[in-house]
Amino acid sequence: MLSLQRITKTFGGVTALEDISFNVESGAITGVIGPNGAGKTTLFNIATGLYSQDTGDVYLGGQNISRLPPERLARLGMIRTFQNVELFGQMTVLENVMVGLHTKSKSGIFSCAFKLPGQIREEKTIHRRALKWLEYTGITDLAGMTAGSLPFGKGRLLEIARALASEPRIILMDEPAAGLNSRETMGLAGLIKKIRTSGITIVLVEHDMELVMDVCDTVVVLNLGHKLAEGTPRDIQENPEVIAAYLGDG
């Protein structure tokens, strides 16, 4: 589904990622883990078009997407969430999810301003589908609230609902459990598994080992910009290099 090939990225002399390659299997949950500063978020930003890599290529379903901006990637079915939750704070929860349907609708300024018949129909579809995703993620009761006033955990769910609304083929989540309490994390694990059963490929960057080991099929370990290991959660847990990287060389 998603394939990163020989990605290298430097920031003013500091090598953030060096020669990173791995494949994300279609329909699987892939976890990317690593200590702080390993380059996980950089890798995500490159894959989703926010940064551009120095060398290497990114393929989505066989198509080279290396130089495409994020708005194009959304149309190709790749969507992401953010570590710090990037919501549209002044809009309602429902409206946030409706923006998620942007790529699934096409009325332009003219037909929106003049309320042409096609636009009215489309607006109804957007509204109906957005409500469906609120229900899917269990935040229907918050629909009318301003997104900026949501507690963090609910904001996270909203961000996932908004991402799902674009009906992606693959969804990349940057530390979805960050800032969540253990009950919320459990709920999140359930939601992630539920999303997988609907056929959507998932990539997680995550610190919460318990979550990674629970939900992931494959785990990629980064350390200081290098790929340290790749395998099933069980392999990774027993890999001496990974243990050394996490616990120090001692």
Q: Which is nearer to other proteins, 34 or 100 (by Cβ)?
A: 100
Question: Which residue blocks in 12-116 are alpha helix, DSSP H?
Answer: 40-47, 70-75, 93-100, 109-113
Report, in angstroms and rounded to the nearest whole number, the Rg of the chain calculated over CA atoms: 19
The DSSP output letter for 169 is S
Q: Which residue has the tokens 């069980």?
A: 234
Q: Does 28 bind other proteins (CB under 8 A)?
A: no
Q: Which of 11, 26, 37, 69 contacts other proteins by CB under 8 A?
A: 69
Q: Does 74 bind other proteins (CB under 8 A)?
A: yes
Q: Which is nearer to other proteins, 22 or 51 (by Cβ)?
A: 51
Binding mask 122-161 for other proteins (x = CB under 8 A): xx--x-----------------------------------
Q: Which of 12, 108, 151, 199 contacts other proteins by CB under 8 A?
A: 108
- Asked whether 168 and 77 are in contact (CB, 8 A), the reply is yes
Distance CA 192, CA 180 (A): 14
Distance CA 79, CA 24 (A): 15
Distance CA 189, CA 180 (A): 12
Q: Which residues bind other proteins (CB under 8 A)?
A: 48, 50, 69-71, 73-75, 79-80, 82, 86-91, 95, 98-103, 105, 107-109, 112-115, 119, 122-123, 126, 162, 166
